[in-house]
């Protein structure tokens, strides 16, 4: 660790230095010699070291110019490591990788975990697998099944695009400086064939967000801004759901069925709003 390198709090920097954990992460990715790895926030390059030994190419995207300078010096003799000084939320996968699936790994800043996942969803067509360290509580929300305490709009959003899985826990002492929360390594595997498909994804996520934002309301009341309550009630009945069902009781599949039913009924002029 560089004693003169002071982590920047506003960048959410908590560098992972525990070599046992770094080794477990590298082993979990199961890199092959022809793999290209996109690393989000390499920091001081502790994980990059492991990745560079196994992958054909490592693209390390780092926003902190101080860290970029250290990384370029550290990997100056590593021809398979490319350092990119860029905010990952503005990063696009270069066109030369359009025909190749890459693996993504990162010890990401916890305060922008959701925006990073949203950006990865946008990039998913080029992604084979994702391995990121995240706050344990957030990971539990992501993997939560319907009717569980942690289940919410984030669960539905991520599970629509990825199969999420917590691989192992990481103690605060594995980081410098140590965060105040427990962490996990989360795997997000893009579906080769989506288990669910709706005609209007924007409508689906509008339904999900509004339903969970009004947890105390029944679905019929929560969605009355889209259609008349009688029509929503008819949809709920036709789907075999109870009249007073609430968002947390509905699976993603059932949310999708409601979305598809509303899509067929909503006036064409309003459809452009979703």
Whether the per-residue pLDDT at 95 is higher than 80: the answer is yes
107 annotated to a ligand binding site: yes
Using 50, 70 and 90 to split pLDDT, how confident is the model at 253?
very high
Using 50, 70 and 90 to split pLDDT, how confident is the model at 68?
very high
20 annotated to a ligand binding site: no
Per-domain residue ranges of the chain: 9-190, 201-271
195: buried, middle or exposed (CB in 10 Å: 19+, 13-18, 0-12)?
Answer: exposed
pLDDT, greater one: 48 or 272: 48
Q: What is the pLDDT of residues 209-237, one digit of tens each?
A: 999 998 889 999 999 989 889 999 999 99
31 annotated to a ligand binding site: no
14 annotated to a ligand binding site: yes
Mean pLDDT of 252-258: 97
Using 50, 70 and 90 to split pLDDT, how confident is the model at 2?
very low
Q: What are φ and ψ of residue 36, in 5° steps?
A: -105, 130
Candidate from 3-7, 21-25, 99-103, 149-153 with smallest mean pLDDT: 3-7
Q: Coil, helix or strand for 212?
A: helix
Whether the per-residue pLDDT at 3 is higher than 70: the answer is no
- Give the CATH number of domain 201-271: 1.10.8.100
Mean pLDDT of 124-145: 97
Tell me whether the CATH fold assigned to 9-190 matches the one assigned to 201-271. no
210 annotated to a ligand binding site: no
Mean pLDDT of 56-81: 97
Q: Which residues pair with 189 in a beta bridge?
A: 163
Mean pLDDT of 247-259: 97
Whether the per-residue pLDDT at 81 is higher than 80: the answer is yes
Distances (CA, A) of 126 to 48, 172, 263: 21, 32, 30
- Share above pLDDT 90 across residues of the chain, in percent, rounded to a whole number: 85
Candidate from 51-60, 79-88, 154-163, 259-268 with smallest mean pLDDT: 259-268
pLDDT of residue 215: 84
Using 50, 70 and 90 to split pLDDT, how confident is the model at 10?
confident
pLDDT of residue 124: 94
Which option is the CATH number for 9-190: 3.20.20.150, 3.40.50.170, 1.10.3210.50, 3.40.50.150?
A: 3.40.50.150
Q: Coil, helix or strand for 128?
A: strand
221 annotated to a ligand binding site: no
Q: Which of 230, 140, 137, 146 is nearest to 179 (CA)?
A: 137
Task: Check if the beta carbon of residue 46 is closer than 8 Å to that of residue 52.
Answer: no
Full-prediction pTM beyond 0.95? no
Residue partners of 50: CB distance under 8 A and separation at least 6: 22, 23, 25, 26
Strand ranges (E), the chain: 15-16, 36-40, 57-62, 81-85, 102-107, 127-135, 162-170, 175-176, 183-190
Using 50, 70 and 90 to split pLDDT, how confident is the model at 154?
very high
């Amino acid at each position: 660790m560089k004693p003169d390198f002071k982590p920047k709090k506003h960048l959410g920097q908590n560098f992972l230095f525990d070599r046992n954990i770094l080794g477990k992460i590298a082993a979990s990715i199961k890199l092959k010699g022809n793999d290209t790895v996109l690393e989000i926030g390499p920091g001081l390059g502790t994980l990059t070291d492991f990745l560079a030994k196994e992958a054909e190419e490592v693209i390390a995207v780092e926003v902190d110019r101080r860290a970029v300078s250290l990384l370029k010096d550290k990997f100056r003799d590593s021809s398979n490591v490319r350092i990119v000084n860029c905010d990952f939320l503005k990063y696009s996968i270069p066109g030369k990788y359009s025909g190749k699936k890459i693996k993504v790994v990162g010890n990401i800043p916890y305060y922008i975990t959701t925006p990073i996942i949203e950006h990865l969803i946008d990039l998913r067509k080029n992604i084979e697998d994702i391995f990121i360290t995240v706050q344990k509580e957030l990971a539990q929300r992501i993997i939560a099944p319907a009717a569980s305490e942690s289940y919410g709009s984030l669960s539905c959003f991520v599970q629509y695009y990825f199969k999420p899985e917590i691989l192992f826990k990481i103690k605060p002492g594995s980081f410098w400086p140590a965060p105040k929360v427990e962490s996990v390594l989360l795997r997000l595997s893009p579906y080769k064939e989506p288990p669910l498909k709706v005609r209007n994804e924007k409508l689906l996520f509008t339904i999900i967000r509004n339903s969970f934002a009004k947890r105390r309301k029944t679905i019929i009341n929560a969605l009355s801004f889209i259609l008349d309550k009688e029509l929503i009630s008819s949809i709920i009945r036709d789907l075999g759901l109870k009249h007073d069902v609430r968002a947390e009781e509905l699976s993603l599949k059932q949310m999708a069925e409601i979305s598809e039913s509303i899509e067929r009924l909503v006036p064409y002029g309003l459809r452009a709003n979703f």
